[in-house]
Amino acid sequence: MKIAIVVWDLTVSGGTQRQALELARQLAKQHEVDIWCYCYDSSKCYPELTQGLVIKKLASTPPRPPEGSQNKIAAVLAEGYSSFHRDDKRACRLAEAVDGGYDVVNFHDLHMEKVANRYKQRFPSAKAIWMCNDVPILKTREHYRNYPLKPKSLLGALSAWALHALFWAEERRVQGLIKAFDRTVVLDNRNRALLNTHMKHQSIVIRSGLDTSSFQPKFEKTNKTFTVMAAGIFFRWRRFEDAIDGVSLLAKEGLKVQLNIAGSAQFDPEYGQMLTDRVKALGLEKQVLFLGRLSEADLREHYRNSDVFVFPNHNQTWGLAVFEAIASGTPVIVSKTAGAHEVLEEGKTALLIEPLKPEKLAATVKTLLVDPELRQRLALAAYEFVKHNISWSKYSENMLKVFQGAAKEDA
């Protein structure tokens, strides 16, 4: 088959980028695969994965929104409206760039409903498959909801109402745009339900993958201080503040815990600053360390040398980092609103917690801190589960079946 994989941003090493690149690498073994993207930086997006892949880009750096605080409702409204307009124009540019003649075009995540709709206008018979990592507009709505929007005047109240109306109108528009897709794939049941409820759109669940052979599990930990790790590009749904608050609660009990947070704050520097300020306010500068963006080698070392990995993310699709930690021999604590929890079993392969409750996270960390046998039992069972059930080959095989099914239609 001749396959195109379309991704918005290949200038960062994130879960969406890894998933698309791993899929391309697997498919390229037997098929002709091209990757199209709006922006690509080979030094920042998994250099070891992109080697040998055909990647066609429009730009080398991602477009940046105007600088300025988004804490005022009017400013958020103006930025929301202008960002939709800017994204439409960029999506159209990408759609105009992608060639025709592919058996299947696989669109990945951000802005792809806009790209696919324009592409199908150019090539009506093209088979468009959507890898929907996050339901459009809902994640954007969640992002803005986290800003402290408190109308203190009539103008503020009107702006808040207008912002709500803007999202409602965009949601209705997206419902029409996604009709361009011939098949839609999601990573978890949560997103399947959201697509059905909010977009009246059907989808199938295919679990993401992992290359366990690239990890060296370490089940016996030797840290002098109990070490907890969290990781991910800084977005507000990560809820890193819950992990920070959890460490503070443990410190009040006289339990010393080191928290290491890996990831870049480049996409939401205000959130990064808020976390830094919180650590200082709680007096945890020595117990909470922001590691920044790590190399793959350094990230894996932190995974394997941590006593526990926490994933407090709220309304988070899947969670590749959870399985990377498991593959490193580290037990995990996972939020029940993260997609990863759907395949993990409470008390056997993970400890599952309610989101937005630092006290629950702290209590669960304490449970593992005082019970090394439980830590090792969870780590070993989770590793065996991931080793036999989560792989990039299985993910690509399942995706290929979807591609082939779509390509056979009208053939």
Which CATH architecture best describes the domain 212-389? Answer: 3-Layer(aba) Sandwich (3.40)
Assess whether pLDDT exceeds 60 at residue 110: yes
The residue that leads in pLDDT, 111 or 388, is: 388
- Sign, Cα dihedral of 32, 38, 43, 48: negative
The answer to whether domain 2-209+392-408 has CATH 2.40.160.50 is no
User: What is the rounded distance in angstroms from the CA atom of residue 367 to the CA atom of residue 357?
Assistant: 16
Average pLDDT over residues 315-322: 93
Q: Where in the chain is the domain with CATH 3.40.50.2000?
A: 2-209+392-408, 212-389
Average pLDDT over residues 182-196: 95
Assess whether pLDDT exceeds 50 at residue 66: no
Average pLDDT over residues 399-404: 98
pLDDT classification of 109: cutoffs 50, 70, 90:
confident
- What pLDDT score does 148 carry? 47
User: What is the rounded distance in angstroms from the CA atom of residue 84 to the CA atom of residue 65?
Assistant: 11
- What pLDDT score does 142 carry? 59
Assess whether pLDDT exceeds 70 at residue 72: no
Assess whether pLDDT exceeds 90 at residue 206: yes
Which tokens belong to 121? Answer: 């206008």
- What pLDDT score does 246 carry? 98
Give the residues across from 309 on adjacent strands. 229, 332
